[in-house]
Amino acid sequence: MLEVLRNIVQEVNAAESLPDALEIIVRRVRDAMATEVCSVYMRDPETGRYIFQATEGLNRDLVGLIGLDPGEGLVTLVAEREEPVNLESAESHPRFQFLPDIGEERYHSFLGVPIIHQREVLGVLVVQQAERRRFDESEEAFLVTMSAQLAGVIAHARVTGAVGVDILAGEGSAAKVSGVPGAPGIAIGTAVVVSPSADLYAVPRRQVDNRRRELRAFKEALDKVRADIQAVADTLTTELSPEDHALFDVYLGILDDSAIGAEVAGLIKTGEWAQGALSQVMIEHIRHFERMEHSYLRERAVDVKDLGTRVLAYLQESAQDERTYPDRTILVAEELTASSLGEVPRHKLAGLISVRGSGNSHVAILARAMGVPTVMGAVDLPYMRLQDRELIIDGYNGTVHLNPPAELKQRFQHVLDQDMALSRDLEALRDEPCETLDGHRVPLWVNTGLMADVTRSLEQGAEGVGLYRTEVPFLLRERFPSEEEQRQTYRSQLAAFAPKPVTMRTLDIGGDKSLPYFPIEEDNPFLGWRGIRVTLDHPEIFLAQIRAMLKANEGLGNLQIMLPMVCNVAELEEALELIRRSHRELLQEGLSGGLPQIGVMVEVPAAVYQARALARRVDFLSVGSNDLTQYLLAVDRNNSRVADLYHSMHPAVIQALADVAKACQVEGKRVGICGELAGDPQGAVLLLAMGYDILSMNATSLPKVKKALRNVSMQEAGQLLTEVMQLEEPQQVHQRMERFLTEHGMEQFIHNPVE
């Protein structure tokens, strides 16, 4: 059964359009269940009507032409109840209603299951039989399983279909795909799709004019692979039997002009670029081999895949040198990485879309720091087909608009213009202090990682660095940086801000941040080996980093050290001991300078409950609200499927933040926050009221937060906090905060979707 399910899902997945997908579903499900009829009714989102959309067994001529309004018939009953309806004799049910001419009269038994994706009923899958019988439990369970698995594919095909029109006919129908907000702002631009290297399954479709050049590139890549394989065969001549050697000939034969090579060339001649043609042809052949009965032949799929991958790698290598980026590039990838951001010249980069990941993925944090509008987790986006398309991304609400009509474009352009006006307005505040209406000063610090952040931060009037993510320079290398390399990097950070304080966090890898040269593979990385756990297990890495920081601080004295992911006192004691030891040893080596201030990040619930014990041992605490929210709410910050449960102002989070501030106040220690909440004008008002001494945020948010805090008084913020602390639902907190902003003339910080 599992095999049948898997095969059907695989076939449906490979369908080119929604009608194709539905055709496959009705045909394959009817066969698998050995029933007489299988049909799909799809809900029309505009009218709510359930349209008869595909059938095997009923009158196909009526497909797409008839349907049922809500409240009519058994199909809509399934949708209303959001559960299966299983009847021995459909016509005896009070909701039964014939659809004329469809040919249902003969069929008595009826089993309908809803097709639900992300809580939305997309349609209903129905099987029918002439015999009067209830479908048995296992049949019902099969159909439910089938439908649950297909829902995602159908939702995806619905959007892909809308865009597909564009590819085939040259005219696009507009479509909107929802993801989650990654970095605020609007971008109107042209899609450039980046694919991971040499992955046949991740090659975007692309039409080209210069077919001859593509053919040449393909031929050159083929020749290189042939030469590589020949070279391997030659070195093995003495070790292989003549039969084994013949295998290499077979291998080379696959690439022959007469075989796969000719098919690829044929596709290139229709206008597809070489990489796309290669991937489509190879995938087709791999599938073909995989479906073979004989295990020897089935295993040949691996060879075909290997060959295809090799050719693709050469094609990508030559394309790399030719890549140009249009003005207002919107970079689209299945999974954006920090390094892919660096590929596009900044002045050409208008926006980013990542199919995977969420608003608190580290790449989104980088995008916010760079001020590039970003949408994450756009899982239904047919990203492989978007090359050169015009797109709009709404980074405030996390939506992507494909083929936008002129009128919609105008509305977004209007929002963009307003944003520009706001940033000009905010620029004027640059040299003004962040002071509430009743004269309370709030130091605004920045989070940094790249050297480029430094200039931006200073331009925005940052008063210090609350979080320097040291893993960023680690990420950009091919091995651990040496102590001296680190010293130089840290020195330039410290020198750029001196005498303003710079809080350097010790290496925080693991979770979604793994170093290419130190991969950590775990089933549950956010609960695994990450942050301080890694560095305490590798004192040689920790000590080199601390020594580099202390050396870099010589003569400047503005360094502070901060420890990530601490979840018990023992970890802290151990880290403190190593820091003190390094300091002692460096003094013996002739270094001057005192021990810098040391702090702990509060990122896990345990640290909230032990905030006083931790605070007592250090100079300051700083809340990492990004992780704290994920751990308090048990919502993976990187998973778009649960992104709507990630509430940075959930009452539990607010309570925890208030408790940490209180604990520090009792212990007489400084308390700061360096999670993204600090950069949200709404969050900042609440944090001010809780008594946070320092708010540290990405440079882009700083002017907005300054503007918000200069508009309120400490007393009003206090009253608001008391009120908010009584609320029990995140939505209520949001509504209350939005009302507060509106009452204080700050509607510009509320971003409702553009319709």
Q: Which is nearer to ligand PEP, 261 or 359 (CB)?
A: 359
Q: Which is nearer to Mg ion, 373 or 449 (CB)?
A: 449
Tokens of 122: 């997309």
Window 422-461: residues binding Mg ion (CB under 5 A): none
Within 8 A by CB and 6+ apart from 342, the residues are: none
Minimal distance, residue 246 CB to Mg ion, in Å: 57
Could you say which of ligand PEP, Mg ion, none residue 675 binds, taking C-beta under 5 to 8 angstroms by partner kind?
ligand PEP
Could you say which of ligand PEP, Mg ion, none residue 625 binds, taking C-beta under 5 to 8 angstroms by partner kind?
ligand PEP
Contact mark string toward Mg ion, 600..619, x via CB under 5 A: ---x----------------
Could you say which of Mg ion, ligand PEP, none residue 23 binds, taking C-beta under 5 to 8 angstroms by partner kind?
none
Tokens of 141: 């369970």
Minimal distance, residue 646 CB to ligand PEP, in Å: 12
Q: Which is nearer to ligand PEP, 112 or 675 (CB)?
A: 675
Q: What is the DSSP letter of 679?
A: G
Within 8 A by CB and 6+ apart from 483, the residues are: 544, 547, 548, 551
Tokens of 352: 């980013």
Q: Which of 624, 672, 681, 683 binds Mg ion (CB under 5 A)?
A: 624
Within 8 A by CB and 6+ apart from 420, the residues are: none
Minimal distance, residue 637 CB to Mg ion, in Å: 9
Q: Which is nearer to ligand PEP, 546 or 674 (CB)?
A: 674
Q: Which stretch binds Mg ion (CB under 5 A): 213-221, 358-366, 376-384, 626-634?
A: 626-634
Hey, what amino acid is at 315?
Answer: L
Minimal distance, residue 696 CB to ligand PEP, in Å: 8
Taking Cα atoms as reference points, which of 192, 234, 167, 206 lies closest to residue 315? 206
Minimal distance, residue 675 CB to Mg ion, in Å: 7
Could you say which of ligand PEP, Mg ion, none residue 680 binds, taking C-beta under 5 to 8 angstroms by partner kind?
none
C-alpha to C-alpha distance for 700 and 702, rounded to whole angstroms? 6
Strands (E), 69-138: 85-87, 109-117, 120-129
Q: Which is nearer to ligand PEP, 467 or 663 (CB)?
A: 467
C-alpha to C-alpha distance for 414 and 593, rounded to whole angstroms? 54
| Secondary structure (DSSP) of 42-62 | EE-TTT--EEEEEEESS-GGG
Q: Which is nearer to Mg ion, 461 or 624 (CB)?
A: 624
Element housing 98 (H / E): none
Structural Rg of the chain based on CA atoms: 30
Closest residue to ligand PEP, judged by C-beta, is 624
Within 8 A by CB and 6+ apart from 36, the residues are: 30, 57, 107, 128, 129, 130
Q: What angle do the packed helices 625-633 and 651-667 form, to 10 degrees? A: 130
Q: Which is nearer to ligand PEP, 114 or 675 (CB)?
A: 675
Residues lying near ligand PEP in the complex (CB under 6 A) = 365, 467, 469, 508, 603, 624-627, 674-675
Minimal distance, residue 536 CB to ligand PEP, in Å: 17
What distance lies between CA 9 and its chain's CA centroid? 24
Residue 671 backbone dihedrals phi, psi, to 5 degrees:
-130, 130
- Residue burial 434-463, b: 16+ Cβ < 10 Å; e: rest: bebeeeeebbbbbbbbbeebbebbeebbbb
Q: Which is nearer to ligand PEP, 202 or 465 (CB)?
A: 465
Tell me the Ramachandran region of residue 594: left when phi exceeds 0, alpha when psi lies from -120 to 50, beta otherwise: beta
Catalytic residues: 362, 674
Could you say which of Mg ion, ligand PEP, none residue 674 binds, taking C-beta under 5 to 8 angstroms by partner kind?
ligand PEP
Minimal distance, residue 508 CB to ligand PEP, in Å: 6
Q: Which of 463, 627, 667, 676 binds Mg ion (CB under 5 A)?
A: 627
Residue 434 backbone dihedrals phi, psi, to 5 degrees:
-90, 100
Q: Which is nearer to ligand PEP, 392 or 467 (CB)?
A: 467
Minimal distance, residue 510 CB to ligand PEP, in Å: 10
C-alpha to C-alpha distance for 528 and 532, rounded to whole angstroms? 11
Residue labelled with tokens 């509607």? 747
Q: Which is nearer to ligand PEP, 363 or 579 (CB)?
A: 363
> Using a CB cutoff of 8 Å and minimum separation of 24, what contacts does 40-43 make?
40/115, 40/123, 40/124, 40/125, 40/126, 41/67, 41/68, 41/75, 41/123, 41/124, 41/126, 42/122, 42/123, 43/79, 43/121, 43/122, 43/123
- Surface-to-core class of residue 34, CB atoms within 10 Å of its CB (0-12 exposed, 13-18 middle, 19+ buried): exposed
Q: Which stretch binds Mg ion (CB under 5 A): 310-318, 346-354, 422-430, 624-632?
A: 624-632
- Surface-to-core class of residue 253, CB atoms within 10 Å of its CB (0-12 exposed, 13-18 middle, 19+ buried): exposed
Minimal distance, residue 749 CB to Mg ion, in Å: 25
Q: Are 598 and 565 in contact (CB under 8 A)?
A: no
Beta bridge partners of 109: 129
Minimal distance, residue 466 CB to Mg ion, in Å: 13
Could you say which of Mg ion, ligand PEP, none residue 469 binds, taking C-beta under 5 to 8 angstroms by partner kind?
ligand PEP
HSE, CB side, 13 Å, CA atoms: give it for residue 222: 22
Closest residue to Mg ion, judged by C-beta, is 627
User: Within 10 A of 723 (CB to CB), how many other CB atoms are there?
Assistant: 12
Contact mark string toward Mg ion, 87..116, x via CB under 5 A: ------------------------------
The reply to whether 214 sits near Mg ion by the rule CB under 5 A is no
C-alpha to C-alpha distance for 337 and 347, rounded to whole angstroms? 19
Minimal distance, residue 367 CB to ligand PEP, in Å: 13
Q: Which is nearer to ligand PEP, 102 or 365 (CB)?
A: 365
Could you say which of Mg ion, ligand PEP, none residue 467 binds, taking C-beta under 5 to 8 angstroms by partner kind?
ligand PEP
Residues found near Mg ion in the complex (CB under 5 A): 603, 624, 627
